[in-house]
Amino acid sequence: MTAADWAARYQADDTPWDLGGPHPELARLLEAGDLAPAAGRDRALVPGCGNGHDARALAAAGWRVTALDCVEGVDAALASDLAASGGELRITDALAFDGEGAFDLVWDHTFFCAIDPTARERWGEMVGRSLAQDGTVVALVFPGDKPVEEGGPPHAFDAVAMGEALGATFGLLHCAPVERGVARRTWSESVARYRRAAADASAAPQAGRS
């Protein structure tokens, strides 16, 4: 789908992906302190933010959130709401975004499944250039068990497919079914966390060696 296609869906109020609030599992993780910012490591990136419910929940939990969407004015108040906590809304092609390694967290919820599968490599490159070296990717993996032949969006994927898009420098830390899912969703939902694989210490240059 093009940006114009997404804009038309918002204009027609045809937005079945919109939960009207943050994903319940994101809310649970934030409440449990499982996704808390640390001092000086509080920048979160939310690509394909839509009406920004997740972005707002992250901001309320102390993250400085940069939210990206290709549709102008998905939520008129979102830009000022995020700015109030040091974040911003950018209307742009998220796949072309360059966060210059400034982000400590990338939260993906129904953005990876919204893009065409042929664009997944670009998604991985965007995350790779935007995330800090020790940053974390946390993703709501949905629709996990949708038959691929049904197409999309939403396009089926699993934690392995997302890991392939991120590339070999990332490792999957954890993937588990959500504890709080969305009742109306019939396909499976999981949460996956990835981190860049630690650099190989034996390959690092050492003082006194030529």
Ligand X SMILES: C[S@@+](CC[C@H](N)C(=O)[O-])C[C@H]1O[C@@H](n2cnc3c(N)ncnc32)[C@H](O)[C@@H]1O
Task: List contacts with ligand X (CB under 6 A).
Answer: 6, 17-18, 48-51, 68-71, 74, 93-95, 109-111, 114-115
Smallest gap from residue 71 Cβ to ligand X (A): 4
166/196 with CB nearer ligand X: 166
CA separation (Å) from 152 to 33, 50, 149, 163? 34, 17, 9, 20
Smallest gap from residue 51 Cβ to ligand X (A): 6
Indicate the residue whose CB is closest to ligand X.
50
51/130 with CB nearer ligand X: 51
107/194 with CB nearer ligand X: 107
Smallest gap from residue 31 Cβ to ligand X (A): 19
Smallest gap from residue 192 Cβ to ligand X (A): 16
